Amino acid sequence: MTTAPDPGSSAAASRPDDAVLLPEDAVLRTEQVEFARWLRTSLPRFLMEYEFAVKEVLTKVTILREEFLHLHRYNPIEHVTSRVKRPDHLIEKIVRKQVRGGLDAIREHITDIAGIRITCSFIADTYRLLDALTTQNDIRVLVIKDYIKNPKPNGYRSLHAIIEIPVFLSTGPVNVPVEIQVRTVAMDFWASLEHKIFYKYDGHVPSHVADDLTHAAEAAWRLDSQMEDLHTEVRSHEDEDTTMELADTALLRQFWDLSHPGGTP
């Protein structure tokens, strides 16, 4: 056991009056101090790459949303949220998962540092949107999990994908993984409620509450299916003519003449 020096000893005399005695395991070694300094400078830049990756994906989502509106007069996206893990939360997960190595190991083993959640109106929209994103040639798909067709035991439904997207920095491109979740409004409402209940009970949800949540998930699925059928029926009766409406008929004729220099084919 380490004992404090006698007040009259030379060690005590050389110690400032306001010095705090720390246990030996609370004192950082020199290499740990150096590591902390490295982390303070490297981690913000590391997370900045994820911020940029989120912006890249959000730009793609925005383009798809505007294209759907322009070509199909329909927007399948209700809302979009995104986040990048806070440094302290990331370090907690690194320690919990026992990830050994540097930043490359962290990037490989923790794939939810950056996350984007897209909420769609209907079930078909979730598949359509995820396919439109993941088939773009600068995106590499790492994992896709379909929890809509194969829900979790508690009733959770959503599409999950881990993609890799290049971020172009001054030092060159960096491939950054981003987690994407795509779900309907009903699925998102249920998942939000389940998340709150899970943390309220600190992960130990009473069985009767868990059963009620499962029944609620089934009800949400029935609602999604009914609304999908209704949406399909309504869309089938809509006028599919997407011809641009031009108020100036004379201008339209002139444009037609320019487009058909040889006259009527």
Catalytic residues: 179
- Rounded Cα distance, 109 and 93, in Å: 10
Q: Which two tokens stand for residue 94?
A: 């690194």
Positive or negative: CA dihedral 54, 56, 58, 60: negative
Write 233-236 long-range contacts (CB < 8 A, 24+).
235/74
Residue among 159, 122, 167, 109 nearest 140 (CA):
167
Q: How far is CA 182 from CA 1, 16, 96, 251, in A?
A: 57, 59, 27, 44
Phi/psi of residue 13, nearest 5 degrees: -70, -30
